[in-house]
Chain A
C-alpha cells in the first residue's frame, strides 16, 4: 500500500475517535447555547475546553507519529502507541475525574449550597433553561415597571445579558436586595426564613424588629417622564421580598357566618368581594399603610377573596412591581454568567465519559496501522 493509502486509513481511524466525542458534545451543548447565547463568551467555556483538549490530543497524535516514524524497531512503535493510548485515557477520564473531585466544593461554596454539582451533572439542560428564564423574567418585569425603557423592549430581549443597561440593572437589583435587604436583618432569624422555618413569630420578628438602615440604593425608574428623585433611593426589602412570590391563607368561613342570614349575605358578599368592590378599594389604603415606615417599610400587597364559604387572603411581596426576583434567584441571576460557564462544561464532560473508550481504542488502532506502515522500512 502506498503512503497515501496508509494516511487515508489513519485519518479514518482518527475520525472515529476524538471527532465523535466532539460532535456529541456539540449536539448536547446546543440547548445550553440556544437559550443563553447572550452570555457570550461565558457560555462557550465548555467549547473552549473541548478545543484545548482537541489541541492537546492533536499534538499527541503528531508527536507520537514522529516518534513511530523514526523508530527502528517494533518496541519504538509500541512505546509511541502506548503513549497515545495513555494520553487518550488521561483526556477522557483523568482530567474529568480531577474536575469531579475538585470542582463540587467550589460550586457549593459559590452558591452557598443552593446549587450542587449533583444538581447540574446530568440536569444541565433543564438548569440552563431555568436560568435563562431568570433573565427573561427579569427583563419582562422591568420593561413592565419602566426601569427598562418599554420602547427598547425588543432590544433588551434580543441582547439579554449582552445589554449594558440590563447588566447594570441586575447588579443594582442584587446589591440592593442583599445590602438593603438580607444584610439589614439583625440576628439569626432571617436564616430561619430561608431554612424552611418561617413561623408566624419569626415572620413578626422579621417584619417588625429593628433593622439596619438601608444605604445602598435601588435604581428606580429611569424611563422617560420619570423623575430624577427616583434614582438610587435606598429602600427597604421585607422578608417576604427575600422569599418572593405570594402566600395564600384560607379561612373556612362556613362556621363564621350564620346561614340563616342568606338574604343579607347575598347583598353583602358581592359588595365586599367583587372585582372593584369595597374591599379591593379599602385594601389599597391598607397596602399603602403597610408600605409606610410606621409599619413594615416596604410594600406588601394584600388581597381578599370569598368563594364557597372560604375566605382566601393572599399576601404578595413587592418583587413583581419592583422588578426583582426573590433573594436566591437574584443571587443566581447575578452570577448567571459564571454558572453558564459551569453548565456549558457538562455536555463536554459527559461526552468524554460516554465515549472516552474510543480514544484508547482508536489510539491503539492507529498504532497498529503505523506498525504496518513503518515496519516495511526495517526489512
Chain B
C-alpha cells in the first residue's frame, strides 16, 4: 500500500467512527423511547398518548440538529472545539428540559392527584414510587382489567357480534331507527352514554351484542347502586319492581294500551301474518312475518306437537309395558296407592299424548315448592325458552314510571337474561361463561366490584396521560448524558476525517 491508500483508509475509518458516535446520541435515545412507547401500548396505554412523549423527544432532537446546522453556518471560521461545545450545550439543554418538566410539572400533578384521592378508597401511590415502578403498575392495571373481562367473559368494546334474530336493523348509540316512545313515555335507550353498544330499535341491546367493559360496568353499577338507594330508604328494590310490574297489568294501564298498538301486535299479535307481507323500517324493507316473536321461542303448540310425537314413537316401544309394570311395582313396594286417573293413563299408554299427560299430572295434585303441578307450572319450567323479547317493540319494563326503578329493571334484565344468552352472565350465583361446557365463575362481591371500577377508572385517566413521560424521564436519566458526549465525539471524528482528506488533496495536488 502506498501512503495515499493509508490516508484514505484512515479517512474512511474516521468517517465510520463519526457516524457511529453520532448514532449513539439522540438517534439511540429516540429508539429507546420508541420501544418504550411500544411496550406501553401493549399494556393498554393509547397510542396517541404513548407517542406524545416520544414526539417531544423527537422535537428536541430536531432542535439540536437545527442548532448544529446554525452553528455550522455561523461559526464556519471557528475551530471544531468551540463548535462542538456549542452543539453539546444545546444538546444538554434539550435533554434537561423534558427531565425538568417531569421532575417539576408532572410531579406537581401527581401531588395534586394524591391529595385528591386521599380518603377516596383508592390508594394513590406518591410520585417517587410510581416513577420507578410505572411499568409494573401499568401491567397491574392491564391484568386487573383482563381478570375482570375474563371472569365475566366480556368481549371487546364493540362486541364481536351484533344483529337481531328477527333481522330488524340495529344501531349504535347515534342510530336513528329507534322507536318513538308511547303514551307520554319518551324513547329510552339503556346505557346510551356508557360505551359503544349495539342497540335494537326498542333501546335494548341487539340480540347478538356481547357486553364490552364499559357496558358491563354500567349494568353492574346501576344494579348495585339502585339496590343500595332503595335500601337506604328502607325499601326492597325487588319488591318495588314486582309491584310496579304488576301495576302495569291492571286494566287501563299504559302497557295495556301499548299492547293494542300495531307496533306491539306485529310482534305478539294472535292473527297469522301473510308470509309475503313487507314492512318498511328506516327506508328498508323487511319481512313482516320475521318480526313475529313466536318464531323465536317454543310455543305451547310446538311443545304439544313435540310431546305427541315423542309418545307416538314410545307407544310402539315394547319397553313401555315394562316401564308401566315397573312404576306399578315400585308404588306397591313403597305402599303407595296410585290414583285411578294415573292407572287409567298408564294402562292406556298407547294413546298417551300431551293432553293425556297433562290431565294425569293435574289429577295427581302434586305440590312442588308450594305450587301445584299443572299445565301452567309445567310450561313455566321452560319459560326461559318460551319468550322472546322482540327488538321491534318495547318491553313491559319500559313503562315503569319511576326512572331509577326502570333503569334497574333494564340492568337486571340485561345482566341475567341477555347475559345468559350470549354467555356472559353478570349477576347470579354463577357469572361469566355459563355455557353447555362451562359452569361460570363465582361473582365478585359488590364492594370488590366498586373498588375495582374505581381503580380502573382512575388509572385509565392518569396512566395514559403521564406514564409515557415517566418512561421518557427514565431513558433520559440513564442515557441522556450520552447525547452531548456522543456529539462531541462525532465532531472530533469529523475533524480528524477532514484532516486526512485535506492531506489527500494536498498530496494529489503535489503529485
Cα A149 to Cα B208 in complex, Å, equals 45
Question: Nearest CB to that of A290 among chain B residues?
Answer: B310
* A271 close to chain B: CB less than 8 A: yes
* A205 close to chain B: CB less than 8 A: yes
CB-CB contacts below 8 Å: A205-223 with B: 205, 208-210
A201:B421 contact, CB within 8 angstroms: yes
* A202 close to chain B: CB less than 8 A: yes
A199:B317 contact, CB within 8 angstroms: no
Q: Which residues of A contact B314 (CB under 8 A)?
A: 282, 285-286, 289
B164:A187 contact, CB within 8 angstroms: yes
B-binding segment of A50-58, A261-269, A334-342: A261-269
Q: Tell me the smallest distance from the CB of B208 to a CB of chain A, in Å.
A: 4
Given contacts A286-B310, A286-B313, A289-B310, contact A209 B165 (CB under 8 A): yes
B318:A281 contact, CB within 8 angstroms: yes
* B423 close to chain A: CB less than 8 A: yes
A294:B320 contact, CB within 8 angstroms: no
Given contacts A195-B160, A289-B309, contact A282 B436 (CB under 8 A): no
Q: Which residues of B contact A187 (CB under 8 A)?
A: 163-165, 167, 207-208
* A197 close to chain B: CB less than 8 A: yes
B309:A268 contact, CB within 8 angstroms: no
Interface code A286-305, partner B: CB below 8 Å = 1, 0 otherwise?
A: 10110010110000000000
A-binding segment of B15-23, B234-242, B295-303, B448-456: B295-303
Cα A294 to Cα B333 in complex, Å, equals 38
Q: Tell me the smallest distance from the CB of A282 to a CB of chain B, in Å.
A: 5
* A196 close to chain B: CB less than 8 A: yes
Cα A202 to Cα B165 in complex, Å, equals 11
A282:B323 contact, CB within 8 angstroms: yes
A188:B435 contact, CB within 8 angstroms: no
* A247 close to chain B: CB less than 8 A: yes
Q: Tell me the smallest distance from the CB of A238 to a CB of chain B, in Å.
A: 14
Contact-residue bracket for chain A: 35 or more
B295:A209 contact, CB within 8 angstroms: yes
Interface code B421-459, partner A: CB below 8 Å = 1, 0 otherwise?
A: 111100000000111110000000000000000000000
CB-CB contacts below 8 Å: A167-207 with B: 186-189, 191-192, 195-205
A278's partner among B295, B326, B434, B436 (CB-CB below 8 A) is B326
Given contacts A199-B435, A210-B295, A278-B319, contact A289 B422 (CB under 8 A): no
CB-CB contacts below 8 Å: B276-326 with A: 295-296, 298, 302, 305-306, 308-310, 312-314, 316-320, 322-323, 326
* B47 close to chain A: CB less than 8 A: no
Q: Tell me the smallest distance from the CB of A103 to a CB of chain B, in Å.
A: 25
B165:A205 contact, CB within 8 angstroms: yes
* A284 close to chain B: CB less than 8 A: yes
Given contacts A205-B165, A278-B323, A285-B314, contact A198 B435 (CB under 8 A): yes
Given contacts A187-B207, A295-B306, contact A278 B421 (CB under 8 A): no
B330's partner among A188, A209, A268, A282 (CB-CB below 8 A) is A268
Interface code A273-285, partner B: CB below 8 Å = 1, 0 otherwise?
A: 0000010011011
B298:A201 contact, CB within 8 angstroms: no
B295:A203 contact, CB within 8 angstroms: no
Q: Tell me the smallest distance from the CB of B342 to a CB of chain A, in Å.
A: 18
B420's partner among A199, A210, A247, A288 (CB-CB below 8 A) is A199
Cα A191 to Cα B295 in complex, Å, equals 19
Given contacts A278-B319, A281-B318, contact A295 B436 (CB under 8 A): no
B207:A188 contact, CB within 8 angstroms: yes
Cα A166 to Cα B191 in complex, Å, equals 55
A209's partner among B153, B167, B296, B310 (CB-CB below 8 A) is B296
Question: Nearest CB to that of A243 among chain B residues?
Answer: B436
A208:B298 contact, CB within 8 angstroms: yes
Cα A282 to Cα B310 in complex, Å, equals 11
* B384 close to chain A: CB less than 8 A: yes
B330:A197 contact, CB within 8 angstroms: no
B162:A263 contact, CB within 8 angstroms: no
Cα A294 to Cα B160 in complex, Å, equals 33
Q: Which residues of B contact A294 (CB under 8 A)?
A: 305-306, 308-309
A281:B309 contact, CB within 8 angstroms: no
Given contacts A208-B298, A210-B295, A285-B317, contact A199 B322 (CB under 8 A): no
Given contacts A188-B163, A261-B334, A282-B314, contact A197 B422 (CB under 8 A): yes
A264:B162 contact, CB within 8 angstroms: no
Given contacts A192-B423, A264-B333, contact A208 B165 (CB under 8 A): no
B165:A271 contact, CB within 8 angstroms: no
CB-CB contacts below 8 Å: A109-130 with B: none
Q: Tell me the smallest distance from the CB of A350 to a CB of chain B, in Å.
A: 28
A188's partner among B208, B318, B329 (CB-CB below 8 A) is B208
* B101 close to chain A: CB less than 8 A: no
B436:A199 contact, CB within 8 angstroms: yes
A285's partner among B296, B313, B420, B423 (CB-CB below 8 A) is B313
Q: Which residues of B contact A204 (CB under 8 A)?
A: 298, 385
Q: Which residues of A contact B35 (CB under 8 A)?
A: none
Q: Which residues of B contact A188 (CB under 8 A)?
A: 161-163, 207-208
Q: Which residues of B contact A199 (CB under 8 A)?
A: 420-423, 434-436
Q: Tell me the smallest distance from the CB of A346 to a CB of chain B, in Å.
A: 28
CB-CB contacts below 8 Å: B136-170 with A: 153, 160-165, 167
Cα A278 to Cα B323 in complex, Å, equals 7
Q: Which residues of B contact A288 (CB under 8 A)?
A: 313
The residue in B160, B295, B436 that gathers the most chain A C-beta atoms within 10 A of its C-beta is: B436
A282:B435 contact, CB within 8 angstroms: no
Cα A188 to Cα B164 in complex, Å, equals 8
Q: Which residues of B contact A286 (CB under 8 A)?
A: 310, 313-314
B309:A295 contact, CB within 8 angstroms: yes
Q: Tell me the smallest distance from the CB of B413 to a CB of chain A, in Å.
A: 14
Q: A199-B422, A278-B322, A282-B314 are in contact. List 18 more A-B contacts (CB 8 A).
A: A186-B167, A187-B208, A197-B153, A197-B210, A201-B385, A204-B385, A209-B296, A261-B334, A267-B329, A271-B322, A278-B319, A282-B319, A285-B313, A286-B314, A289-B313, A292-B309, A294-B306, A294-B308
Please report A residues at the B interface, Cβ cutoff 8 Å: 186-189, 191-192, 195-205, 208-210, 247, 261, 263-264, 267-268, 271-272, 278, 281-282, 284-286, 288-289, 292, 294-295
Top 3 nearest A-B pairs (CB, nearest first) are A197-B423, A281-B319, A285-B313
Q: Would you mind naming 6 contact pairs between A and B with Cβ atoms under 8 Å apart?
A: A200-B436, A261-B334, A271-B326, A272-B326, A285-B314, A289-B312
